[in-house]
Amino acid sequence: MGDASGISHRLEFHHQEIAMARQQAVHELEQGDIKLPDTGRPVVRSTKGVISSGHYLTSMAGMRMLLNGGNAFDAMAAAGFAAAVIEPIASYSLAAEGVFMLYDAASDEMLSLSGQGVAPGLATADFYKSRGMDRIPTGPGDKAHFSFTVPGIVEAFISLLERYGCMPIDQVLAPAIDYAENGIPHYEYMLERLKSPSTPQQFDLYPPGGWDVFFDNKQVPQPGSLLVQPGLANTLKAMASAGGSSDRIAGLQAARDVFYKGSIAKTIVESSARVGGILSMDDLANYKSQFGEPISSTFAGHEILGHDSWSQGPMVQQSLNILENFDLEAMGHNTPEYIHTVTETLKLVFGDREAFYADPDFAEIPIDGLLSKEYAAERAQLLDPEGAYPEQPAPGDPWRYSKGNGVVPAAVAVAASGNGASDSSSHEGTTHVSVLDDKGNMVCGTISGGAFSKSVFFPELGCCLSTRIEMFNCEEGHPNVVKPGKRPRTTLINYMARKDGQPVMTIGCPGGDNQAQADVQLVLNVLVFGMNPQEAVEAPRFASQSVVNSFYPHTYLPGRLDLEPSIPESTADALRAMGHDIDRAANCGLGATVSVRDPKTGHLSTGGDPRRACYAIGL
């Protein structure tokens, strides 16, 4: 019996030795590992510079600036111009808009930059109402030209380069020109969007559209086939040629002038007029992007900074103010209780967004009241831990916590719309770029507009015009009523975080009304649950559709809560029991980026969202 027991122990020991030897051999041969990584993509780490964007060629355009001695701001502009070539259906147009958060290490300035275009001089509530329009229409349809918006992104890039860049405009434009003139390979993410029936429909309504540029004999091209964009190349080359002065600042001004006052402006205005649009030369000549002080609040030992109420930006700070009244960590990440609490908070804040957010240059906004911790504590009391709001909640009264004077707008009854289908507009546009360099500079931009199915493609210009003024209403007296020269309350947003006075993080995620919802989740992923940048963007997300959508035709799905596929069905069942109308969505915001800087060591890190062709690169 003893001998049998000894033999058994020796055999067990022998098997353990064999297993260890096999494991060691696997490592030595580099053919395997003990377990898979925690994320599908690695965290990109560097001390010299990092960039993340919606496409690998976009990121490379920015990286070329860093390699050639440029800084984060040069890289941002180069990547942004290139994205107009690489991501025209997947993100945005050169004749559209963008918003930026930036930190300049030399001046210690942290600023918001609005490159959001404005309403043309003829765009008034009476103009639209007199033509039988209660809201400003876009495509799909034959009224898209009524929503043409003054382009803002080019002015914003040039202003960014003037103030903080160090490279001449022709060098910054060089990658974009190369991509447009010599072509890029068609890729799957773009081709899937060309399959949308609304894109051919819009091209046919406003011929010739983009048939000859983006399709092959009216068929969707094959992946890897060449996309050449001669019209866009000519537009970019006109700016580079005008800006070829030996004086960098003079060159930037010349490039701005050719776009907003010269030949490109004339092409934009003539193209618009030909299809019935109302843009004028004065509209373009008078446009200026705007640097401004960001609004901020505190959460988990960090200051969260973002854009003012001309965007939906304050939603994140408002939401975080409410959520700090709950023990989210104890609830656990993406548990039913957690998803319910965050969703109901966002619904409350959507109510405030619809009532109060607008361009503060044209309306008095109770921003101090909206961001008040006392107001947040009051709103937190309205959350039912076991029951969901069946529809969009009414706004609160932030004026009681504000130094200003105003009234809460009367509630307007809104009927459900959309036939149960989420508005796809928020998924047809927008990209995000984040750049950190070794000088301590940080900048992130969310750039968008000019979707093929919503606008008009002009071959001579090489792109579509923005339709962002669709986000205005025509209700006289409302803060967000359309007026000439006014910024629509844009969905475009991004954020920076400071800790102990030092900038440490950028946050952004495309996705229309899902943007603020995704950004809240990204902040919580990092600051509450300790995720790294890649874990934060890969984690499953959720988004409420129980709000009147910002995009025309402004669908409204009361009680609807979208969950990404990897959230378990058991969680969905628990949320249904709380009253949520659950739907599964392929994504709830896509193209998210979190970039982090350690001010003590200079260590930089970022990631790429696998939900689209995003790519991060380290120098």
The string of pLDDT tens digits covering residues 71-119 is 999 999 999 999 999 998 766 899 999 999 999 999 999 999 999 999 9
Lowest pLDDT segment from 34-48, 144-158, 254-268, 470-484:
34-48
Length of the chain: 619
Between CA 607 and CA 19 the distance in angstroms is 36
pLDDT (0 to 100) of residue 420: 52
| Matching residue, tokens 């068929």 | 219
pLDDT (0 to 100) of residue 90: 65
**What percentage of the chain's residues is helix, strand, coil (to nearest 5)?**
40, 15, 45
pLDDT (0 to 100) of residue 425: 44
Mean pLDDT of 202-207: 97
What's phi and psi for 454, nearest 5 deg?
A: -110, -20
User: Quick check: 476 pLDDT over 60?
Assistant: yes
User: Quick check: 160 pLDDT over 70?
Assistant: yes
pLDDT (0 to 100) of residue 37: 85
Share of the chain above pLDDT 70, in %: 92
pLDDT (0 to 100) of residue 430: 87
Sequential DSSP letters for 293-355:
PPEEEEETTEEEEE--TTBTTHHHHHHHHHHTTS-HHHH-TT-HHHHHHHHHHHHHHHHHHHH
pLDDT (0 to 100) of residue 11: 47
The string of pLDDT tens digits covering residues 239-293 is 999 998 889 999 999 999 999 999 999 999 999 999 999 999 999 999 999 999 9
Mean pLDDT of 324-353: 98
Share of the chain above pLDDT 90, in %: 88
Query: CA angle 97-101-104, nearest 5°?
Result: 125
Positions of CATH 3.60.20.40 in the chain = 53-293+418-618
Q: Which of 294, 346, 302, 368 is nearest to 523 (CA)?
A: 302
User: Quick check: 20 pLDDT over 60?
Assistant: no
Q: What is the CATH number of domain 309-401?
A: 1.10.246.130
User: Quick check: 131 pLDDT over 90?
Assistant: yes
pLDDT (0 to 100) of residue 428: 53
CA 441 to chain centre: 20
Residue with more model confidence, 21 or 535: 535
**Which class is domain 53-293+418-618?**
alpha beta
User: Quick check: 28 pLDDT over 60?
Assistant: no
Contact present, 406 and 399 (Cβ < 8 Å) = yes
First to last CA, the chain: 66
* 19 confidence band (pLDDT: 50, 70, 90): low
- Rg of the chain over all Cα atoms, to the nearest angstrom: 25
Q: Which of 512, 525, 521 is nearest to 542 (CA)?
A: 521
Positions of CATH 1.10.246.130 in the chain = 309-401
Between CA 507 and CA 317 the distance in angstroms is 13
Cα-based distances in Å from 143 to 116, 474, 508, 581: 22, 16, 32, 33
Give the max Cα distance, the chain. Answer: 102
Mean pLDDT of the chain: 93
The string of pLDDT tens digits covering residues 388-446 is 999 999 999 999 999 999 999 887 667 677 655 554 444 456 899 999 999 999 999 99
